[in-house]
Chains A and B, each alone.
Chain A
Amino acid sequence: GAVVSQHPSRVICKSGTSVKIECRSLDFQATTMFWYRQFPKKSLMLMATSNEGSKATYEQGVEKDKFLINHASLTLSTLTVTSAHPEDSSFYICVSGGDTQYFGPGTRLTVL
């Protein structure tokens, strides 16, 4: 069946650095990818909608200059957390769009 992968699964970085998270659809093409973040014991909050070949659409309150999204191909969407700070520590999940939505396994980001 369809699989969405994320890399890395876990990352620890120093405050001020940038971190790139990759989301790949392995056996299908995803023209749309949704990016969510989840704080511990909290629900998933939609950050942005990534569309192949066009600019991402960000939800209200999400800084587009801080969370850079690139959807350069039909199988790859990336989320870059720029100048990360401890409050950016979270679980980031990508979800493919379409009639059936497939979840990536998530990336645990810890900013020291």
Chain B
Amino acid sequence: GQQLNQSPQSMFIQEGEDVSMNCTSSSIFNTWLWYKQDPGEGPVLLIALYKAGELTSNGRLTAQFGITRKDSFLNISASIPSDVGIYFCAGHGSGNTGKLIFGQGTTLQVKP
């Protein structure tokens, strides 16, 4: 089945630094979504991308839907301690079943 490869697996950065993470797939995805999950909570949607090449920002977060439709990245600028959490990419693959396929997650830790 379709899979998403997310990297890096974890990051430990200093407050104020920029962060970049990405997801790739061997097959085309119709949408790309980026979520953040805090411990013990369900994922919360950060950014949704629907068209190849689309670049969307949400505050300090920026994400892009790759031209090939097989990749996406998420950037966080000027990180702050509350950015700590696990970030997941997810997407709707072919077949329009509505199923979301998730990447493995990137654990972000920010040192004040």
B34-54 at interface with A (beta carbon < 8 Å): 40-45
Cα–Cα distance between A46 and B43 once the two chains are bound (Å): 14
Q: Using CB atoms, name the residue of chain A closest to B40.
A: A108
Known: A42-B105, A43-B88, A44-B88. A106 touches B100 (CB 8 A): no
- Answer yes or no: A49 CB below 8 A from chain B CBs: yes
Known: A43-B88, A97-B98. A104 touches B42 (CB 8 A): yes
- Answer yes or no: A98 CB below 8 A from chain B CBs: yes
Residues of A contacting B90 in the complex (Cβ-Cβ under 8 angstroms)? 44
What total of chain A residues lie within 8 Å of the partner, measured CB to CB? 20
- Answer yes or no: B104 CB below 8 A from chain A CBs: yes
Which listed residue, A43, A101, A104, touches B102 by the CB 8 Å rule?
A: A43
- Answer yes or no: B66 CB below 8 A from chain A CBs: no
Residues of A contacting B104 in the complex (Cβ-Cβ under 8 angstroms)? 42-43
Q: Which of B40, B90, B98, B107 has the most CB of A within 10 A?
A: B98
- What 0/1 readout, one digit per residue, does chain A (23-35) give for beta carbons within 8 Å of chain B? 0000000001010
B42 touching A93 by the CB < 8 A rule? yes
Rounded to whole Å, the gap between the CB of B31 and the closest CB of chain A is 10
Q: Which of B42, B98, B105 has the most CB of A within 10 A?
A: B42
A34 touching B100 by the CB < 8 A rule? yes
A106 touching B41 by the CB < 8 A rule? yes
Cα–Cα distance between A36 and B37 once the two chains are bound (Å): 14
Rounded to whole Å, the gap between the CB of A89 and the closest CB of chain B is 14
A43 touching B107 by the CB < 8 A rule? no
Chain A residues engaging chain B, CB cutoff 8 angstroms: 32, 34, 36, 41-46, 49, 93, 95, 97-98, 101, 103-106, 108
> What are 19 A-B pairs at a CB distance below 8 A?
A42-B105, A43-B88, A43-B102, A43-B104, A43-B105, A44-B90, A44-B102, A45-B102, A46-B101, A49-B97, A49-B99, A93-B43, A97-B98, A98-B98, A103-B45, A104-B42, A105-B42, A106-B40, A108-B40
